[in-house]
């Protein structure tokens, strides 16, 4: 048994010692069978939440009314969830109630896709009542039971299906795809935050080129923020090199460029992204417009952007143009390392120095003067030494007064 599961065996064995069933379930088991890196290990058990909390010294009640308790075992947190069935889904988002049961199969039956409805016991034996292993072998995403029913229960499952295409490179089973087309309007019931979580995972997947056209094919795009009028551009976006991007800001910047979004702030706000992400994506796109080619960076532009943003700009440019060159990145790193200062904090003078030298009250002119100084330092017009900057500034002022 692989290490992520071995480390959690103590929880399984403790539950079984007290007469309860317990199994590894969900994405970790799926990824084990696929051969992917295994992430969080989750456990399903016949023990009720209060029984789980009595058995372990360190637990966190993160949702006991829905059956989930976090057990901290040997320094690692694991979600332990009671076998359950879901009540009616009246809003196409979440069940109105859950009922705890003692049957693993009943618990697996409520899950979205067959590849996610597989369990494994402490000996490594696979329990697969709904054909998840066959779906994995055929590289198909199939719902557990009737696809219409699964998607009417929780409409976000349609977006999850397309997201799994991006992450795994699997195809949608025909009945699954057909049901998404029929039920796409139910996405109107889903919160933007939940859609954004799925979209970010989709854009980060290695098979995003297969997933983006599916958003158009299935009609899901019409219910995603700002995409209703972007069908053809969305299809064209599949041609870009998304896997070359490593940061969420880069991916949102490329999406804006791919969809020809003119005013990016309202578009990204519609996805309810953090202001930090919106600001950085906007800065990347602005620099992309200001610097027409990788070799066109000036020292001033490189300093203003900073190395990380400059590298992001070139990553987005490469993904958009389809021409990745590590030489451009290395040249940017070399040039940035050669700059006399890397941040404004490294400047040898500050606002107090400038005010004292000028002998006049503070005002907007102080920032303007400091900006002129760092530009001169970065462009090697003056060395970053206080005395030399003072002399340069005095000469600059004399020249300005003479010209006026």
Task: Give the residue ranges of the annotated binding site for CTP.
Answer: 27, 30, 111, 154, 157, 160, 163
Annotated binding site: 27, 30, 40, 42, 111, 154, 157, 160, 163
HEC sequence for 282-297: HHHHHHHHHCCCHHHC
Distance in angstroms (rounded) separating the CA atoms of residues 285 and 367: 25
SS3 assignment, position 113: strand
Question: Which residues fall in the annotated binding site for ATP?
Answer: 27, 30, 111, 154, 157, 160, 163
**Interatomic CA distance for residues 143 and 140, integer angstroms:** 10
* 8 Å CB contact between 307 and 330: no
Residue 223 backbone dihedrals phi, psi, to 5 degrees: -110, 10
Q: How far, in Å, CA of 11 to CA of 321, rounded?
A: 50
Q: Which strand (E) or helix (H) includes residue 140?
A: strand 140-141
Residue 59 Cα to chain centre, angstroms: 28
Only one residue has tokens 């976000």, namely 156
* Three-state secondary-structure class, residue 382: coil
d(CA 397, CA 404): 11
- Rg (C-alpha) for the chain, rounded Å, is 28
Residues 6+ apart with CB under 8 A from 136: 30, 33, 34, 115
**DSSP assignment string, 211-222:** HHHHHHHTSGGG
Annotated binding site for Mg(2+): 40, 42
Q: Return the SS3 of 100.
A: strand
């Amino acid at each position: 048994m692989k290490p992520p599961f071995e480390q959690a065996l103590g929880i399984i064995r403790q539950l079984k010692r007290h007469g309860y069933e317990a199994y590894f379930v969900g994405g970790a088991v799926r990824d084990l069978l696929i051969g992917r890196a295994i992430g969080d290990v989750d456990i399903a058990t016949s023990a009720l939440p209060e029984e789980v909390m009595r058995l372990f010294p360190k637990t966190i009640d993160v949702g006991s009314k829905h059956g989930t308790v976090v057990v901290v075992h040997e320094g690692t947190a694991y979600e332990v969830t009671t076998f359950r069935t879901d009540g009616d889904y009246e809003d196409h988002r979440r069940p109105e109630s859950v009922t705890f049961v003692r049957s693993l199969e009943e618990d697996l039956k409520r899950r979205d896709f067959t590849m996610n409805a597989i369990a494994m016991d402490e000996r490594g034996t696979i329990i697969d009542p709904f054909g998840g292993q066959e779906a994995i072998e055929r590289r198909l995403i199939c719902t557990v039971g009737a696809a219409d029913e699964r998607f009417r229960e929780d409409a976000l499952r349609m977006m999850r299906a397309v997201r799994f295409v991006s992450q795994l490179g699997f195809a949608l089973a025909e009945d699954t795809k057909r049901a998404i087309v029929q039920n796409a309007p139910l996405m109107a019931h889903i919160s933007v935050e939940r859609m954004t979580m799925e979209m970010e995972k989709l854009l980060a997947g290695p098979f995003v080129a297969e997933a983006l056209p599916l958003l158009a094919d299935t009609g899901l795009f019409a219910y995603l923020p700002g995409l209703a009028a972007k069908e053809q551009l969305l299809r064209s976006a599949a041609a870009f090199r998304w896997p070359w991007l490593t940061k969420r800001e880069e991916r949102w910047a490329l999406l804006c460029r791919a969809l020809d979004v003119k005013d990016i702030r309202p578009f990204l706000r519609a996805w309810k992204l953090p202001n930090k992400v919106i600001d950085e994506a906007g800065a990347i796109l602005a620099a992309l417009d200001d610097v027409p080619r990788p070799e066109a960076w000036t020292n001033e532009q490189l300093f203003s952007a900073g190395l990380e943003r400059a590298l992001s700009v070139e990553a987005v440019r490469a993904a958009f143009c389809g021409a990745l060159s590590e030489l451009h990145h290395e040249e940017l790193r070399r040039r940035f390392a050669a700059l006399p200062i890397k941040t404004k904090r490294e400047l040898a003078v500050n606002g107090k120095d400038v005010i004292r030298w000028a002998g006049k009250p503070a005002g907007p002119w102080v920032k303007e003067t400091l900006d002129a100084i760092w530009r001169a330092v970065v462009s090697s017009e003056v060395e970053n030494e206080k005395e030399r900057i003072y002399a340069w500034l005095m000469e600059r002022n004399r020249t300005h007064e003479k010209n006026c």
